[in-house]
Structure 1
Amino acid sequence: MSFLRTVKTVLWSFVGIRKRSGFEEDLGKANPFHIIAVALVAVGLFVGGLIALVHWVVKN
């Protein structure tokens, strides 16, 4: 599974709107360590973005 496909799989999981067949197909091809790594980076970026947004709103 390519890196971009792994990122796409994780992002679809965050949104939560995916057909079950597509989800099962991705899980069959995915490396669990890659999924975990991409998910941790995505969560970090999301939380960092929220923190930056709050700091920006409070500062203004």
Structure 2
Amino acid sequence: MTENKREPGRKASFGATMKAVFWSFLGIRKRSDYEKDSASLNPVHVIIAGLIGVMLFIGVLVALVKLAVS
């Protein structure tokens, strides 16, 4: 058994959730990682991480547009 496997029922940290959401935004996920995440991620953390990711994405886009226009 490998050390990377989580115990059943063990929840991932918020940092691990942010990492999973970041890779999902890019569309780069292995099927095995997706299956591990779906078993261990807290849905509330996923929603919060997704909202943070969207706000960061919009902020970067707005900054790029302001830079391009000026």
TM over 0.5: yes
Which structure has the greater CA radius of gyration? Answer: 2
Name the Cα RMSD after superposition.
0.8
* 1:31 corresponding residue in structure 2: 42
Cα distance in 2 for residues equivalent to 1:36 and 1:3:
11
- 1:3-51: CA deviation from partner (whole Å, max 9, x where unpaired): 2101110011111121111111111101101001001111111011101
**Percent identity over the alignment?**
51
Q: Structure 2 length as normaliser, TM-score?
A: 0.78
Which residue does the alignment assign to 1:4? 15
Which structure carries more helix by proportion? 1
2:19 is aligned with what amino acid?
K
Structure 2 portions without partners, runs of 5+: 1-11
Q: Number of residues paired by the alignment?
A: 59
